[in-house]
């Protein structure tokens, strides 16, 4: 694992900008205390994100144990949220959790204006998804950088 033996800390030691380390529910964690210590050792420029919140028990346990800076709401919670009171209620609960713990919610997989509008109505201000843009290879981006 990249966090073991300080490997990631060495890679990040020269950086002078914010880095977001993202953990998914697919990453099995046997020892949360050790992981918390390893993340803390990376320094104040590293923030933590938990991906796929709502996709399974592991993501909620990751959130409770690791106290992330960002929680990314799984696409399954976002899909057709405008017409599903159960999804809306769960997202409002997550928003309450985020307010109480100081983390930021990010909705994943926003694909329609109706989903975006409902998320904004529920006070979820950050999102990603095809509605906002498709992934683009770096070689095709105009970064405005000149030599």
The pLDDT score that the predictor gives to residue 5 is 67
CATH number at residue 99: 3.20.20.450
CB atoms within 10 A of CB 9: 16
Residue 74 lies in a domain: yes
Selected catalytic residue, list 108, 111, 121, 125: 108
133 with 123: CB under 8 angstroms?
no
| % of the chain at pLDDT higher than 90 | 52
pLDDT at residue 27 greater than cutoff 90: no
Residue 49 lies in a domain: yes
56-114 pLDDT tens trace: 666 788 899 999 999 999 999 999 999 999 999 999 999 999 999 999 999 999 999 99
Q: Where are the beta strands (DSSP E) in the chain?
A: 19-23, 46-53, 70-73, 104-107, 126-127
Report the distance separating Cα 87 and Cα 81, nearest Å: 6
Residue 143 lies in a domain: no
Residue 99 lies in a domain: yes
Number of domains present in the structure of the chain: 1
The residue range of the domain holding 112 is: 4-130
The pLDDT score that the predictor gives to residue 98 is 95
Whether 108 is a known active-site residue: answer yes
Reported confidence tier of residue 29, pLDDT bands at 50, 70, 90: confident
């Amino acid at each position: 694992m990249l966090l073991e033996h300080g490997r990631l800390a060495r890679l990040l030691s020269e950086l002078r900008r914010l880095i977001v380390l993202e953990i998914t529910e697919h990453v099995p964690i046997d020892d949360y205390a050790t992981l918390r210590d390893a993340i803390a050792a990376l320094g104040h420029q590293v923030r933590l994100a938990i991906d796929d919140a709502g996709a399974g028990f592991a993501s909620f346990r990751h959130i409770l144990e690791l106290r992330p800076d960002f929680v990314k709401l799984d696409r399954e919670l976002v899909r057709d949220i405008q017409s599903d009171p159960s999804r809306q209620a769960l997202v409002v609960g997550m928003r309450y959790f985020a307010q109480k713990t100081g983390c930021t919610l990010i909705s994943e997989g926003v694909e329609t204006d109706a989903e975006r509008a409902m998320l904004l109505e529920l006070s979820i201000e950050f999102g990603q998804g095809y509605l906002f843009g498709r992934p683009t290879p770096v070689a095709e981006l105009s970064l405005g950088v000149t030599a």
